[in-house]
Amino acid sequence: MIRFKLAGIPVAMHWTFFLFAALIGAAGREDGVRMAAWVVVVFVSVLLHELGHAFAWRAYGHQPSIELQGLGGATRGDPDRPLPPGKQALVALAGPVTGLLLAAVAFVVGQLLVIPRESLGARVLYELWWANTVWSVFNLLPVIPLDGGIIVASLERRVRGGRPPRAAFYLSVAVGAGLALYFATVQQWIAVLLLASYAYQAFQTLRALSRVEADAPHPALAAAMVALKEDRLDDARAAAQLALMGAKKDVELNVALHIIASVHTRQGRPDDALNILLSMPRGLKASPLALGEAWTTKGEHLKASTFFRDAFRDAPVRETAYRYARSLLDAGLDNEMRELLTSQASLGYSDETCAGLQDALYERGKFEESSRVGAHRHQKFGSAAAAYNAACALVKLGRNDDAMKWLTAAADKGFRDVKHLDEDPDLAPLRGSAAFDALRQRLVTAPA
């Protein structure tokens, strides 16, 4: 690799550049002087073409760099600041325009100078004209990654608002393949090789583009999911209904229907939700979590609990554990609840899953059981949050001394939130006691 600077622009040159220049020129230039002159002509021509790009980059405030290798060169601007399409087209145009100017100068000088036609000087001028004309015209072909292809792609991006320039890639495939066939008939194998490989690359890009588009969710569906997450329920329903009309895949249909059902449930229309969930199209399955929610909203806790049980068995995570436990408590299924709590220890649920059980018990006033789940979590996972919540449950039971012990245990496991300690209404009965003040002081002075 040879490196130098030209007008402050770094140029890196790979040895393959000379190799290809010599190979192209080998035919008809047997003697060494003419061969050397040809390589110099190619070097000057390609370099000036790239300098044309480089000065255009610089006009837009970039610090360009040039690389010459194999069959040609490439000029890049600052990688993290892509140009808007119009300017990108002008940067691409600047290379061939510089080449055509050089060709014109060589032509005019050749006409004006009075030198013998077969002299080396006349030969060099002729080759400068010829090489620059051919190189510029070749680069203006509408085939990506040639300058002409980049110009077409930039203009398409400009028209289509920055979306992938599909038409430019289709054009690259058609023109590239067509010209490759043509050059094969006149046995210009280097042109065949280049154009065929450009056409193939463009074809691959088009295939990748369609794969990406096929995998992307329906835009309305994506909007519906965001709206549901942000509790904009009417927006979520409208977007999901839009997605329903354009859904191409089962999974999109399934998600759209569940979003609509979820909005019905959350807006207090569980019957409408059940209508959707109980008559899903063939091949689709209503989620047990959604069914459980709808039955819960109808007040049918026994029915809801069977669906939440399925959801919990499918995926015993915090969310399903919380809903399953709450439905059992609401349905008065104390035996099943006891079973669930026993299996909690034996089946080795995760800390998060147990947290769902602890929360549900606390919410339904089962403070004794909730504190015991907290104790289990604290012992098994060293969870500070479990100890803290166990303390809250014990305060509800009036067992303030035990509650203080659990608060201390939470602090031992890293609980440091003084603000929470001061403001949590659950802890009101503890405040003012000497033990509480001592613990508070400990948190204030403890390292984080």
Instruction: Reduce the secondary structure of 73-125 to three states and give it as a string.
Output: EEEECCCCCCCCHHHHHHHHHHHHHHHHHHHHHHHHHHHHCCCCCCCHHHHHH
Give me the 9-48 binding string for Zn ion, x by CB under 5 A, dash otherwise. Answer: ----------------------------------------
Question: Quick one: tokens of 6?
Answer: 């030209």
Nearer to Zn ion, 139 or 353 (CB): 139
| Rounded-to-integer distance, Cα 35 and Cα 255, Å | 68
User: Smaller CB distance to Zn ion: residue 73 or 356?
Assistant: 73
Question: In this chain, which stretch among 35-43, 137-145, 244-252, 434-442 interacts with Zn ion, using CB under 5 A?
Answer: 137-145
Q: Give residue 74's Cα distance to chain centre.
A: 28
Amino acid at 41: V
| 171 or 329: CB nearest Zn ion | 171
Residues near 73 by beta carbon (within 8 Å), at least 6 away in sequence: 17, 46, 47, 49, 50, 66, 67
Asked if 147 interacts with Zn ion (CB under 5 A), we say yes
Residue nearest to Zn ion (CB): 95
Say whether residue 156 binds Zn ion (CB under 5 A). no
Sequence-distant (6+) residues with CB within 8 A of 187 are none
* Nearer of residues 99 and 292 to Zn ion, judged by Cβ: 99
Tell me which stretch binds Zn ion (CB under 5 A): 109-117, 145-153, 248-256, 353-361. Answer: 145-153
Closest CB to Zn ion among residues 139, 297? 139
Residue 139 C-beta: closest distance to Zn ion, Å:
5
| Distances 146 to 82, 194, 201, 204, 326 between C-alpha atoms, Å | 18, 10, 12, 16, 65
In this structure, what token pair is assigned to residue 226? 């965001």
Binding segment for Zn ion (CB under 5 A), chosen from 21-29, 147-155, 182-190, 219-227, is: 147-155
The interface mask with Zn ion, positions 64-103, x = CB under 5 A, is: -------------------------------x--------
Q: How far is the CB of 166 from Zn ion (least distance, A)?
A: 23
Burial of 347 per CB tally in 10 Å (0-12, 13-18, 19+): exposed
Kindly identify the residues of this chain, within the stretch 286-345, that bind Zn ion according to CB under 5 A: none
Which residue, 140 or 260, is less far from Zn ion as judged by CB? Answer: 140
- The label of the residue with tokens 């979520």 reads 236
Output the smallest distance, CB 74 to Zn ion, in A.
8
> Which positions lie near Zn ion, rule CB under 5 A?
95, 139, 147
